[in-house]
Amino acid sequence: MQQLNRRDFLRKSSLAAAVFAATPGITYAQVIGGGAQFDDYRALVCVFMFGGNDSFNMLVPNTTAEYNAYAASRQNLAIAQQDLLPINPTSFAPGSEPFGLHPSMASVQQLFESGSAALVSNVGPLIEPTTKDQFLNQSVALPPQLFSHNDQQDQWLSLRGKSPSKTGWAGRMADLIRSNVAGQQMATNASLFGSNTFQAADETVAYVMGPSGPQQFEGFSPEQRAAFLRIVDAQHDSIYERGFAAVQRRAIDAADTVTAAINSPEAQAITTVFPQGQLGTQLETVAKLIASRDQLQMQRQIFFVATGGFDSHDDQNQNQPGLLANISESIAAFHAAALEIGVENSVTTFTQSDFGRTLTSNGDGTDHAWGGNQLIVGGSVRGQDMYGTYPVLQIGGADDVGGGRMIPTTSADQFAATLAKWFGIPDVDLDIVAPNIDNFVQRDLGFMV
């Protein structure tokens, strides 16, 4: 089967673009390692929680004064202290159980305590280090449209700050390494949750499949397939026809290859049972694809999976347990599958979300905020520890910039740069992946080995 050479295709179809002024973008002139192939396999799996995960109920202070401040802020939305699942991050006194996880996250507690998971506290989009006073005085550059869903999803996924960039940090990583992975049979970036900003790129194209994998084309005899391809590849005078045809083309090319990978013996050999539901299904498919990485000649992969429902303006107490249980069980199952496949040290899973949520409530729910806690899982994670600085959960306190919104103490750029470095991006190129990273002293948060 012919492999689509995406760059050739774009070159052909972008002849028309020469008529219009192109956006000056990042030039990927620098080739990493002289274009040499990587000598190992690594994969990143982004689990995006759409809506803004109320992560100060996911990771809760367990020491007396701090818990009391939390409970006083959250009132009827606080988790009862006796219900918390205690954890022992190694930076703290052994056995002191200074923090606890939401009671629905027993699997994550287990992963954490066994060293396979870490937590990063109070991360959020920042352009430069920002104190509460600087925020209130607007005396530093701030990401635009804070507290707006799609803008903050965009900030997390693109790290673009104030620039109008249309690419995401996974897209830029794929662009940077494209010479090093030239033999891959599938795109570096794959999404199981639709097209997204995270994987948008200048040079490479993300492949979008459904939660269980690609759709196969019905009725595709060899003749039908060939006719379909010729129809798609024919001259189209409208830019919109060409855009549509491009998708059809990629779909036809990739459907067979990727489906074969999902049905491979290696993929079918996985015995781990995944939770039912969208996220479990997506992660199971990711596991199957990773099991088939050799068949597809993959060396670097970035997967985007997601689940929604986190915008808990209402009924937070009723809905949150199920949401967090799903995250916990699905990610734990995925790690178990990674162990089965033998790639636990090569695969790192991490969460992102629009924002954390307000300490104040509207009666039965919370509103959009800023800093939030994220989870990282994998054999190469320096697990059983917390990174960054956990904020003071006090309304009107030192970290509250108004309405119970915590100002991030670690930036999303730092978070991304740490993962990018592990993925194989040289330090000198980290500012391409995380454009604001040069504004921060700590480029590596230290949660990867």
Partner 1 sequence: MKSKLISLVASILLGVAGCGGGSGGNSQPPGPPPPPPITKAEAFQFLNQATFGATEAEAQRVINMRYEAWIDDQLQQPVSLQLPYIQSLTPPQFMFQLQPDRVDIWFRNALNGDDQLRQRVAFALSEILVVSQLGVLGGQPYALAGYYDILAENAFGNYRDLIEEVTLHPAMGAYLSMLGNEKPDPTRNIRPDENYARELMQLFSIGLVELNQDGSVRLDADNQPIATYDQAIIEGFAHVYTGWTYAGSPVFQGAFPTPTRQVFPMQLWPTFHDTGPKTLLNDVTLPAGRTGDQDLADALDNVFNHPNIGPFIAIRLIQRLVTSNPSPGYVSRVAGVFNDNGAGERGDLGAVVKAILLDDEARPALRMELDGKVKEPIIRVTQLWKAYNAASASGRYPYNFAYIIFGQGPLQSPSVFNFFSPFYAPPGEIRDSNLVAPELEIATEFLNTYVTNYMFIQTFAWNHAADPVTDPNVNDDTVLIDFAEEVAIAGDADALIDMVARKLLAGEISTALRGEIAGMLALIPADQGLLRAAETIYLVATSPEFAYQR
- Residue ranges in 25-44 that form contacts with partner 1 under rule CB under 8 A: none
Integer Cα distance of 104 and 106 in angstroms: 6
Cross-strand pairs, 42:
300
Q: Which residues in the 377-406 window bind partner 1 by CB under 8 A?
A: 395, 402-404
Indicate the helix (H) or strand (E) that contains 349: strand 347-353
**Which one of 178-186, 219-227, 284-292, 375-383 is the stretch in contact with partner 1 (CB under 8 A)?**
219-227
254 binds partner 1 (CB under 8 A): yes
261 binds partner 1 (CB under 8 A): no
268 binds partner 1 (CB under 8 A): no
C-beta of residue 92 within 8 angstroms of C-beta of residue 62:
no
Cross-strand pairs, 155:
none
84 φ, ψ (degrees, to nearest 5): -65, 150
Please name the residue that has the structure tokens 């199957």.
288
Nearer to partner 1, 255 or 432 (CB): 255
Q: Are strands 372-377 and 117-124 parallel, antiparallel or unpaired?
A: antiparallel
133, 241, 294, 427: which one contacts partner 1 (CB under 8 A)? Answer: 241
**Which one of 62-70, 237-245, 345-353, 380-388 is the stretch in contact with partner 1 (CB under 8 A)?**
237-245
4 binds partner 1 (CB under 8 A): no
Rounded to 10 degrees, what is the CA torsion of 271, 277, 278, 279? -60
Indicate the helix (H) or strand (E) that contains 373: strand 372-377
273 binds partner 1 (CB under 8 A): no
441 binds partner 1 (CB under 8 A): no
Integer Cα distance of 51 and 256 in angstroms: 34
Instruction: Classify burial at 134, counting beta carbons within 10 Å of its beta carbon; exposed 0-12, middle 13-18, buried 19 or more.
Output: middle
For the record, the structure tokens of 11 come out as 């070159």
- Determine the Cα angle at 331 with ends 328 and 335, to 5°: 130
Integer Cα distance of 286 and 280 in angstroms: 10
Q: Which residues in the 48-67 window bind partner 1 by CB under 8 A?
A: 50
Q: Which residues in the 358-377 window bind partner 1 by CB under 8 A?
A: 358-365, 367-368
Integer Cα distance of 100 and 97 in angstroms: 7
Q: Which residues in the 87-146 window bind partner 1 by CB under 8 A?
A: 144-145
Site string for partner 1, 170-209 (x = CB under 8 A): ---------------------x--xx----xxx--x-xxx
**Which one of 125-133, 262-270, 272-280, 310-318 is the stretch in contact with partner 1 (CB under 8 A)?**
310-318
3, 14, 163, 297: which one contacts partner 1 (CB under 8 A)? Answer: 14
**Which one of 16-24, 59-67, 85-93, 409-417 is the stretch in contact with partner 1 (CB under 8 A)?**
16-24
Nearer to partner 1, 23 or 64 (CB): 23
The number of beta carbons lying within 10 Å of the beta carbon of residue 409 is: 18
Q: Is 252 helix (H, G, I), strand (E, B) or coil?
A: helix
10, 140, 339, 448: which one contacts partner 1 (CB under 8 A)? Answer: 10
CB of 250 to partner 1, least distance (A): 5
214 binds partner 1 (CB under 8 A): yes
Indicate the helix (H) or strand (E) that contains 351: strand 347-353
231 binds partner 1 (CB under 8 A): yes
Q: What's the residue count for the chain?
A: 449
Integer Cα distance of 54 and 371 in angstroms: 10
Question: Which DSSP category does 22 fall into?
Answer: P
Q: Are strands 207-208 and 189-191 parallel, antiparallel or unpaired?
A: parallel
Q: Which of 225, 224, 183, 187 is nearest to 203 (CA)?
A: 187
CB of 404 to partner 1, least distance (A): 7
Nearer to partner 1, 249 or 421 (CB): 249
247 binds partner 1 (CB under 8 A): yes
Nearer to partner 1, 340 or 364 (CB): 364
Nearer to partner 1, 148 or 185 (CB): 148
Integer Cα distance of 87 and 206 in angstroms: 37
20 binds partner 1 (CB under 8 A): yes
17 binds partner 1 (CB under 8 A): yes
Under rule CB under 8 A, how many of the chain's residues touch partner 1? 85
132, 225, 236, 382: which one contacts partner 1 (CB under 8 A)? Answer: 236
Q: Which of 254, 173, 265 is nearest to 215 (CA)?
A: 254
Q: Which residues in the 137-176 window bind partner 1 by CB under 8 A?
A: 144-145, 147-151, 166
240 binds partner 1 (CB under 8 A): yes
Q: From start to end of 106-200, where are the E strands?
A: 117-124, 189-191
CB of 158 to partner 1, least distance (A): 13
Nearer to partner 1, 149 or 443 (CB): 149
Q: Which residues in the 342-361 window bind partner 1 by CB under 8 A?
A: 358-361
Nearer to partner 1, 105 or 209 (CB): 209
